[in-house]
Amino acid sequence: MMPDARVIALWVVGLACAIVDLLIVLRSVEIARRSHAMLGRTHGDAAPPEERGNFPFLSIVVPARNEERQIAGCVRTLLALRYPAYEVIVVDDRSDDATAAIVERIARDDARLTLVRGVDLPDGWVGKPWALEQGVRRARGAWLLFTDADTEHEPDSAGAAFAYARASELDAVSLLTEQTMVTAAERIVLPSILWTIALGTGPLDDVNDPARGNALFNGQYILIDRVAYEAIGGHGALRGEIAEDLELARRLKADGRFRTALVGASGQVRTRMYRSFREIWEGFVKNFALGVRGQPLLTAGALLAFALFSPLQPLALLVALAWHVWGVALLLAAGMLAAGVAAARGMRRFGFAGSGAAWLPIGIGVMSAIFATSLFKHARGGVTWRGRRYARS
């Protein structure tokens, strides 16, 4: 007797899902095995104390728009850095909360801190590049550190990052910050999103290989030689870029004169990116589509793979159990378990709890919806972020 057509269809779906599971496992293992770029866990691991006198003056620029809940923590950890000579410049990007007042109050007690009250966006500019541009105009440093208002820094972090850059003869280094996740939305969704981005980007060894075309920075922490920054046109060249960190990495690498690296922060810098499901949704809708811009085949393939892993795979597993098709059920369950174990290993490697892998089907299901929404919004004309509307670029 021929098998029921529904059972055949279920086997086809199961095999397709198993292929995606296998790809996730193989890619996860490769990333965990070939991502060696990590800061030392202490400043001393990266640079002997006697070398600190050779560190250049550093200008730290922090863009801040409506950041009253976290700007004080960020600024106070920056002012506590054990770095020989530096300044902190906070650019208040037209906030309508207490951000500026908080920074102003802290600045009264520390001359290293400067508040820049940003002016309105010029035509053609996106908010963050414009805020950073205004900060750089006030900066005196030979090296620049761009970091976000939702970050917190260990005292030796800047010294370790610069020592790493100097030892590796880099013109720019960006850190993959440790992610702080508190709410259920953060713990369930964020690990899956961040790990899937890592799957798409590939091992750090490849990202940092000058001979390879893929390039990536984390805009939460970018340390760059001012010579290299100005040579590629600074943020003026990135004025219309929503994902300005990605474009900065691409331009530096494509230029060919400068060496860059994306490096694990090893706990030296922490970030709490978003605090609710709505913030996660809006934050990633803003820039997900930009990561695959101009790559229609990659976009289609990614959407198909996401859909196969979730929601199709969990649904197919439930159907297989209900129909007593045990072979398909075993295949699907084993594939999901293997993908989760491999992802957990990689997540721990990059500084966030491997327990997030337990929620991988839910996280990737949400991410699939975010990705599709991002593609739709950018195709239809643009996105809204922090009260501003940005047209398609």
* Residue 290 confidence class, pLDDT cut points 50, 70, 90: confident
What is the pLDDT averaged over residues 52-57? 82
* Residue 43 confidence class, pLDDT cut points 50, 70, 90: very low
Residue 1 has what pLDDT? 44
- Could you tell me the sign of the dihedral formed by the alpha carbons of 60, 158, 276, 100, in that order? negative
Buried b (16+ CB within 10 A) or exposed e, 92-121: bbbbeebbbebbeebbeeeeebbbbebeeb
What is the pLDDT averaged over residues 268-273? 94
Alpha carbon distance 325, 222 (integer Å): 52
User: pLDDT digits over 303-336, tens only?
Assistant: 899 999 999 999 999 999 999 999 999 999 999 9
Residue 283 · residue 273 · CB < 8 Å: yes
pLDDT at 381 over 80: no
Least confident of 42-51, 149-158, 353-362: 42-51
- Kindly state the tokens that stand for 6: 């529904």
- Kindly state the tokens that stand for 229: 């920054």
Q: Which domains does the chain have, with CATH numbers?
A: 5-33+291-380 (no CATH), 43-275 (3.90.550.10)
* Residue 42 confidence class, pLDDT cut points 50, 70, 90: very low
- Which residues lie across from 388 on neighbouring strands? 385
- Kindly state the tokens that stand for 61: 């620029």
pLDDT at 276 over 70: yes
DSSP track, 65-134: SS-TTTHHHHHHHHHT---SSEEEEEEE-S-SSSHHHHHHHHHTT-TTEEEEEPPPPPTT--HHHHHHHH
* Residue 50 confidence class, pLDDT cut points 50, 70, 90: very low
Q: Which residues are within 8 A (CB) of 190 and not within 5 positions of it... i.e. 6 or more apart?
A: 179, 181, 273, 274, 280, 352, 356, 363
292/241: higher pLDDT: 241
pLDDT at 207 over 70: yes
Mean of pLDDT over the chain:
91
Provide the Cα torsion 78, 81, 233, 65; round to 10°: 0
Residue 14 has what pLDDT? 96
Residue 353 has what pLDDT? 76
Scan for tokens 């550093």, then name that residue: 58
